[in-house]
Chains A and B, each alone.
Chain A
Amino acid sequence: MSQLKPLSAIARAGDLMFRETPSQTAGPYVHIGLALSVAGLPQRDMEIWNQLATEEAEGERIALVGTVIDGNGDVVRDIFVEAWQANARGEYCDEYSPTNAFNGFGRAAPDVLSDGEWSFDTIKPGCVKDSRGQWMAPHVALSLFARGINLALHTRLYFEDEAQANASCPVLNAVESPQRRQTMIARRDGERHGVPCYRLDIRLQGEGETVFFDF
């Protein structure tokens, strides 16, 4: 077996647990595997993509858009983003199905020849309580994978029109610098396809660097 030692071979207490498989970058061609249309590959019958909600989904339809910017100020055109969010009632729905009106999970990547913007069609999530019973502000968890990113970066997208909920969100408040909390707050940016659009430009490094979480 490649990593699983027999129990008899475990000598030190520190070895009583297996070690997690180490991460590696998703590389420049992540699209072949996880975003087929962007790579130019034919679609399979079911693809996990950036439309989380259909017309039938309960809740307020919204669009989320943004770019990811590197330490030089350049747009990361080969970024791959995953979104995970609660439904309009603040419940996580684990069972992904192409027939669901709403799936809490989606994926996006800018077209390789475009301006580098990713987008999701979704609904505005409801509030979820944290593990100690405090209400968190509505948010969407975003995970970033790309060439040059050795281990996924996790952040959250919050909404600027939820100022009151944001101010009391225990996770936002876990960020010591109030200024840095702002890096997770998406701004209203007009409409897209007739629905309100929120924009979050994520900065990987340097001035205005986005908050990334460890959990």
Chain B
Amino acid sequence: MSFDPSRRFVERNRRWHPPAFAPDYKTSVARSPRQSLVSLQHPTATELRGPTFSRADLGPHDNDLLLNYREGTPQDGLPIGERIIIFGRVVDQFAKPVPHTLVEMWQANAGGRYRHKKDQYLAPLDPNFGGVGRTLTDEQGWYRFRTIRPGPYPWPNGVNHWRPAHIHVSIMGPSLSTRLITQLYFEGDPLIPRCPIVQTLNDREAVESLTARLDLERSRPMDALAYRFDIVTRGEFQTFFESQG
């Protein structure tokens, strides 16, 4: 893939993103830098390039969490929970589609239990649900997953804190500069405004933009509801002048 050395990305708005230090989310207190970030006035190929995954050979059901855990084994079966389709488009800040980019996701099962060594929550595992998916966007930046709607779960932050139902979403985009991990929430979930992780975002609109919308029209009748979640990566433009100097 060709690399334009004058490639630039729109500056990241760090007041729109959550701050590193957000004391209501307790773990951030000891895991946030105290020093200022050092700004690279002239980002280099290191920051302006990144890996592409079109040749990475993803599996045929890597984006289908209804099938991809025990598919093909003698115990093969469907997971329990609300069957949903998560879909949307990855575009940059100038509305340009981000094609062939890697979108990854992971989540708890319908009961809020993660298939992870460290998750001790008493809600049971689902023998037919793993909770991981990945896909590449198509030419127009579209992606889709099929899964089970995750349940909320309690976590040791405040004495009675519960995460809203959410899916973790990871996007590569065209460079290291666009690399992003976020979380998808579901429209209408009353736990959203009560969650200290969601509330690390200072702007209501930012929270809105992480809230997937029910899209009944794109649902599959008698099969699965659909939720739409669009993702915006940093805008890419070319500088007109390489140097003023």
Contacts and interface: CB of A to CB of B under 8 A. Distances in A.
Contacts of A113: 117
A26 B33 CA distance: 17
Nearest to A32: B106
A177 to B, nearest CB: 9
A130 B42 contact: yes
A146 B14 CA distance: 18
B39 A84 contact: no
The contact size tier of chain A is: 35 or more
B201 A128 contact: no
Interface stretch (A54-62, A148-156, A159-167, A186-194): A148-156
A209 B200 CA distance: 23
A195 interface: no
A182 to B, nearest CB: 14
Contacts of B28: 25, 148-150
B200 to A, nearest CB: 5
Interface string A120-157: 00000000111110001001010101111111111010
A101 interface: no
A165 to B, nearest CB: 14
Interface residues of B, number: 102
B127 interface: no
B238 to A, nearest CB: 12
A105 B51 CA distance: 6
A94 B51 contact: yes
A69 to B, nearest CB: 10
A149 B117 contact: no
A146 B233 CA distance: 20
Task: Specify the main secondary structure of chain A where it touches its partner.
Answer: loop
Contact of B209 (A21, A71, A210): A21
Given A28-B118, A84-B46, A2 B230 contact: yes
Given A39-B116, A150-B18, A204-B31, A22 B210 contact: yes
B232 A215 contact: no
B85 to A, nearest CB: 15
A134 to B, nearest CB: 9
Interface string B26-63: 11111111110111111111111111111111110010
B183 interface: yes
Task: Specify the main secondary structure of chain B where it touches its partner.
Answer: loop
Given A32-B132, A130-B44, A150 B20 contact: yes
Contacts of A45: 57, 59
A96 B51 contact: yes
A173 B201 CA distance: 33
A17 B93 contact: yes
Given A17-B235, A28-B116, 20 more contacts: A1-B213, A4-B95, A20-B10, A23-B18, A25-B183, A29-B168, A32-B107, A40-B115, A41-B116, A42-B130, A96-B51, A96-B55, A130-B45, A131-B48, A132-B243, A143-B176, A145-B181, A149-B32, A154-B47, A213-B47
Interface of B: 1, 3, 5-6, 10, 12-14, 16-20, 22, 25-35, 37-59, 62, 88-89, 91-95, 104-108, 114-119, 130-132, 168, 170-171, 176-177, 179-183, 197-198, 200-201, 205-206, 208-213, 228-235, 242-243
Closest 3 CB pairs of A and B: A33-B106, A148-B27, A148-B31
Interface of A: 1-4, 17-34, 36, 39-42, 44-46, 48, 70-72, 74, 76, 78, 82, 84, 86, 92, 94-98, 103-105, 112-113, 128-132, 136, 139, 141, 143, 145-154, 156, 170-171, 174-176, 180, 204-206, 209-215
